[in-house]
């Protein structure tokens, strides 16, 4: 059944994420919006900060993403920057004295900062990300640059390299389903970077990505070995029990203590496992998205795991009775 999900159902769900009409319909349905709150705690900065308070109380760290991507005009990109600056100012009042590992950070999608604009998109995204990094540094937070589909990878990593010359604490995301990622891990592990390693959530062609679930997992573990052996800071972004179980041995083999890496999971997914790891003394960071542009993020979460889709369908059925 899981194999059918990954080969047939998942690609169909991801295709649905690109249907504009379906997006508009979903956003109008109150039942959909109610279920979305399992994965997205709200639409405002206040909603995000409330989620931060709850997660920090349980001993977990946080990375906050202001939802939005594929911006097509400068004004929207500027509005995204303003939202991040407001968010960082709010986080600044909640940040403890500086520590080696910052408990609060924000995650950025460069396409939300203007990367895809037809005129000077990469330059605009770099300048906007720089503005956000400056504010983060001032308030004592971290920034991680998210990965998007494979067509943006070269541009994204180029911008990350530029930013890291000034902000060496800047993190970025690498996706194990891309065939290029092992080489990217070698580069960034050697440079001492913070790397969030995830499997990948976009529908990529076989020419650039592993499509088989087991191949993606094998690639993940190979990439994680590189990161653990390097001089950077690995961020293990996975809900997969096989990967989570492999981490302690990899850490020991490479002389890493609990402060030398962290687990990362998404808001609303495997909450009990997040708490278990945190209570055992491991560093756990929860990725918390917020904002009105939740549709694409929500659909990718449904496509990742059969359990997420089952939860959504069950909730829809319950609300129809």
Q: How far is CA 120 from the centre of its chain?
A: 26
- CA–CA separation, 229 and 198 (whole Å): 17
- Phi and psi at residue 64, to the nearest 5°: -110, 130
Active site residue 260: no
Q: Exactly one of 60, 65, 135, 146 is catalytic; which is it?
A: 146
Burial of 104 (0-12, 13-18, 19+ CB in 10 A): buried
SS3 196: strand
- CA–CA separation, 61 and 225 (whole Å): 24
| 8 A C-beta contact, residue 232 and residue 181 | no
- CA–CA separation, 283 and 210 (whole Å): 29
Alpha-carbon distances of 227 from 6, 54, 219, rounded to whole Å = 27, 30, 12
Active site residue 184: no
Round to the nearest angstrom and report the end-to-end CA distance of the chain: 28
For the record, the structure tokens of 317 come out as 């059925």
Instruction: Estimate the crossing angle of helix 241-253 against helix 213-229, to 10 degrees.
Output: 20
For the record, the structure tokens of 301 come out as 């979460």
Known catalytic residues?
146, 196
């Amino acid at each position: 059944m899981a194999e059918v999900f990954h080969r047939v159902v998942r690609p169909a769900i991801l295709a649905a994420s690109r249907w504009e009409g379906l997006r508009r319909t979903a956003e109008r349905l109150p039942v959909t919006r109610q279920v979305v709150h399992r994965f997205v705690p709200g639409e405002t900065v206040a909603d995000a900060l409330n989620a931060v308070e709850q997660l920090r109380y349980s001993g977990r760290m946080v990375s906050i993403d202001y939802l939005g991507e594929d911006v097509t005009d400068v004004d929207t990109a500027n509005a995204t920057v303003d939202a991040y600056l407001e968010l960082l100012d709010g986080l600044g009042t909640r940040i403890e004295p500086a520590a080696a590992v910052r408990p609060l950070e924000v995650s950025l999608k460069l396409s939300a900062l203007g990367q895809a604009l037809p005129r000077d998109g990469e330059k605009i995204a770099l300048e906007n990300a720089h503005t956000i990094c400056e504010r983060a540094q001032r308030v004592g937070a971290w920034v991680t640059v998210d990965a998007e589909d494979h067509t943006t990878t070269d541009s994204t990593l180029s911008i990350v390299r530029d930013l890291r010359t000034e902000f060496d604490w800047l993190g970025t995301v690498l996706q194990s389903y891309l065939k290029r990622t092992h080489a990217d891990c070698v580069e960034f592990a050697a440079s001492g970077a913070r790397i969030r390693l995830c499997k990948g959530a976009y529908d990529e062609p076989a020419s650039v990505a592993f499509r088989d679930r087991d191949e993606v997992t094998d690639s993940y573990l190979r990439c994680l070995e590189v990161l653990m052996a390097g001089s950077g800071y690995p961020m293990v972004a996975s809900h997969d029990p096989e990967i989570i179980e492999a981490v302690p041995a990899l850490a020991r083999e490479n002389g890493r203590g609990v402060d030398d890496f962290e687990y990362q999971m998404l808001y609303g997914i495997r909450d009990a496992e997040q708490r278990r790891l945190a209570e055992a003394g491991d560093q756990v960071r929860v990725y918390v998205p917020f904002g009105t542009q939740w549709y694409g993020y929500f659909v990718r979460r449904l496509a990742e795991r059969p359990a997420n889709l089952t939860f959504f369908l069950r909730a829809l059925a319950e609300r129809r009775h």
